[in-house]
Amino acid sequence: MQTIVDSSDGDLARAVAARGPEAAEAAEGELYRRFAPRVRLYGLRHLRDGDAARDLVQQVMLVTIERLRGGSVRDADQIASFVLGVSRTMVKDIRRRDWRRDQLRDAFVRPDLVEDPMREATLDADRLEMCLARLAERERMVVLLTFYAEKTAGEVGKELGVTEGNVRVIRHRAVERLRTCMTSREVGPRAVAPREVAE
C-alpha cells in the first residue's frame, strides 16, 4: 500500500488541492517536511541569516498551501518549481523592505503536525575542532574565510595571494578532508599549538 511518504511531489500537491479531510492534512505535513528544508537552504544562501530563513519558510509554505487549496497552482507536478518561484519572489521582497517577522509566524502549518525538518544537524564540536586543526594552513584559512567570513573565492584569493581557481581547489579539498575526518575514528597529527609544547 502506498503511504504518504512514498507519494511523489505532484501527488502530494494534488492531495492538498483535493482537500479531503484527513488526507489533505497528512499531505500538507509531508509537503512541509519535504520542502521546508529546501526553502530554508535557499533563504540561508540568499539572506545569510538563520532567523530570516526560518521566516521565509513560514511565508513560502503558507502561500504554497494556500494556493494549492485555492486551486491556483496549475500544474501540480511542477510544485517544486512553484515553491522555488515563491521563494525567489519573497526573497526579493525581503531585500526591498523590512520584514514583519512575527505577523505570520505559526499562522498556517501547525508545528505539532510534523517533526521539525529544519533543525540544524549537530556536529561534534570537539571532533570538528580537531579535524580543523589537522588541515594544512591554506586549507584552514580558506574554509574559515569561506564559511565564517563569507568571502568568495576571488576575495579569499586576494587575501592569500593565490588565484581564484586555486582557492576553489583548496576549498573543495579542505571540505572533503573535513568530512572524511568527521566520519573517521582515526586520530592523526594536528596543527602546532602551545598545548603540545607544554606537554
CA distance 142 to 35: 31
Q: Are 173 and 154 in contact (CB under 8 A)?
A: no
41 in contact with another protein (CB under 8 A): yes
Other beta carbons within 10 angstroms of residue 4's beta carbon come to 15
Choose, by CB under 8 A, the member of 14, 37, 47, 177 that binds another protein. Answer: 37
Nearer to another protein, 7 or 58 (CB): 7
Backbone angles phi, psi at 167, to 5 degrees: -60, -45
Pure H helices in the chain:
9-18, 23-47, 50-69, 79-96, 125-134, 137-147, 153-160, 164-183, 194-198
CA distance 17 to 27: 10
Choose, by CB under 8 A, the member of 21, 137, 185, 188 that binds another protein. Answer: 137
1 in contact with another protein (CB under 8 A): no
Residue indicated by cell numbers 509537503? 31
CA distance 117 to 115: 6
Nearer to another protein, 30 or 55 (CB): 30
Choose, by CB under 8 A, the member of 120, 185, 186, 188 that binds another protein. Answer: 120
Other beta carbons within 10 angstroms of residue 137's beta carbon come to 9
Stretch 139-198 residues interacting with another protein (CB under 8 A): 140-141, 143-149, 151-154, 158-162, 164, 168, 171-172, 175-176, 178-179, 182, 190-198
Tell me which stretch binds another protein (CB under 8 A): 2-10, 63-71, 96-104, 108-116. 2-10
Q: Are 42 and 36 in contact (CB under 8 A)?
A: no
Choose, by CB under 8 A, the member of 1, 112, 121, 186 that binds another protein. Answer: 121
Nearer to another protein, 77 or 93 (CB): 77
Q: For residue 197, which amino acid is it?
A: V
Q: How far is the CB of 45 from another protein (least distance, A)?
A: 6
Residue ranges binding another protein (CB under 8 A): 5-9, 34-35, 37-38, 41-42, 44-45, 80-81, 83-84, 87-88, 120-121, 123, 125, 128-129, 132-133, 136-138, 140-141, 143-149, 151-154, 158-162, 164, 168, 171-172, 175-176, 178-179, 182, 190-198
